[in-house]
Amino acid sequence: MPEAPALELVCPAGSLPALRAAVDNGADAVYLGLRDGLNARNFPGLNFTLEDVHRGIEYAHGRGVRVFVALNVYPQPSRWPAATAAVDAAAAAGADAVILADPGLLAYAAERHPQLDRHLSVQASASNWRALEFYRQRFGVRRAVLPRVLSLAQVRRIIERVKLEIEVFGFGSLCIMVEGRCALSAHVTGESPNTHGVCSPAHAVRWQELPQGREVRLSGVLIDAFAPGEPAGYPTLCKGRFEVLGTRMHALEEPTSLSVLEVLPQLLAAGVSALKVEGRQRSPAYVAQVTRALRLALDSARRDQARYRAPSASAAALDRLAEGHTHTLGAYSRPWH
């Protein structure tokens, strides 16, 4: 089983080609989900069959890269047998860890597969040290992924107080909701992302081509309209454009991406164990470019934290791939803390 480096670069794999792209471009670990509706990227055509899980783990382990299996929804009673079977399958396939949020599944994994590392998903919304210590003591969690609502100072204080590896997000789309507490999509579609594994489920999305452009609706609710030739990403309610006091605007949140290139030395100094890239719904080409850019930047920061400057090649690559072509430090940057 491959060992984790000092600051592990954890990259997304929504498919076997994406896994290979991450491994070949410098990921230390990859995370994936099964095609069972039990992970937080439950889209048609995405995720892994059991056969592909075995092939992916063999490919990654053969190159010294670890593999984590995400089972991070809160399964309803009818899905409980499928959820426990997925934990069993991850263990049997030789996964290095399972990423879980549901306390029942954490308890099941700890009892049935004590040798399998348990990582606390960001979907658990554990954002203070007492909650994190509870999961460690009760379920033997080894690592926790922090929600993207904490400042660097808060991350640092958590690391000082808990006996856990701490993983933070380093690049990818942002959302105004605290992970694990999203209600907007459920309000319109009737399906909670935390139980059904997807925001804006594909069956609820409708595109309509009109002479003046393209409209997109979610369960019949118009959430955006695009002029001819205007780029249109996957629609989510929080990033829709609405008329407010006669002005059409991103009323809730403008599309943007989190990027921590500027603060990599601070994350290293704080003792962060892993840097996570969001994007299992992204293409293999996207995964390859992001992984390569962050690998270059991380290696540069490790060599000389004091003189580190974000490599121009990494910054340019991530700027091109950022949602809305803009990036932010998000909650990490709170100078008053």
| Per-domain residue ranges of the chain | 8-174+256-332, 191-249
pLDDT at 172 over 70: yes
pLDDT category at 334 given cuts 50, 70, 90 is: low
Express as a percent the part of the chain with pLDDT over 90. 63
Q: Whole-prediction pTM value?
A: 0.89
Measured distance CA(224)–CA(70) in Å, rounded: 31
SS3 189: helix
- In this predicted structure, what is the pLDDT of residue 1? 61
Query: Token digits for 268?
Result: 């290293």
- Given a cut of 90, whether residue 276 has pLDDT beyond it is yes
Confidence check: pLDDT of 3 > 70 = no
Task: Calculate helix-pair angle for 284-303, 16-24, nearest 10 degrees.
Answer: 20
The CA-to-CA distance between both ends of the chain, in Å, stands at 40
Query: Mean pLDDT score of the chain, rounded to an integer?
Result: 90
pLDDT band at 324 (very low <50, low <70, confident <90, very high): low
Q: In this structure, what are the phi and psi dihedrals at residue 219, rounded to the nearest 5 degrees?
A: 50, 40
Is the confidence at residue 208, as pLDDT, over 90? yes
- Using CA atoms, how far apart are residues 279 and 169, in angstroms rounded to an integer? 11
Pairing of strands 205-210, 213-218: antiparallel
What average pLDDT does range 311-325 have in this prediction? 86
Taking residues 123-138, what's their average pLDDT? Answer: 95
Average pLDDT (205-219) is 91
Calculate the alpha carbon distances from 21 to 5, 60, 286, 287 in Å.
20, 11, 9, 6
159: pLDDT strictly greater than 90: yes
| In this structure, CATH architecture of domain 8-174+256-332 | Alpha-Beta Barrel (3.20)
Number of other CB atoms surrounding residue 112 within 10 Å: 12
Tell me the pLDDT band of 5, cut-offs 50, 70 and 90.
low
Q: What would the pLDDT profile of 59-72 be if each residue is shown by its tens digit?
A: 999 999 999 999 99
pLDDT at 335: 64
Q: Which residues contact 173 (CB under 8 A, 6 or more apart)?
A: 255, 257, 258, 278, 279, 323
Average pLDDT over every residue of 142-148? 95
pLDDT band at 57 (very low <50, low <70, confident <90, very high): very high
pLDDT in tens, 10-52: 999 999 999 999 999 999 999 999 998 888 887 777 899 999 9
Which amino acid, residue 211?
A: P
Q: What is the pLDDT of residue 180?
A: 65
Q: Tell me which residue of 129, 109, 110, 97 sits closest to 10, measured CA to CA.
A: 97
Q: What pLDDT sits at residue 325?
A: 65
State residue 93's pLDDT score: 98
Q: If you write DSSP's letter for every residue of 253-318 in order, what string do you get?
A: ----EEE-GGGHHHHHHHT--EEEEP-TTS-HHHHHHHHHHHHHHHHHHHH-TTT----HHHHHHH
Q: Is residue 224 scored above 60 in pLDDT?
A: yes
What pairing do the DSSP bridges indicate for beta strands 327-328 and 257-259?
parallel
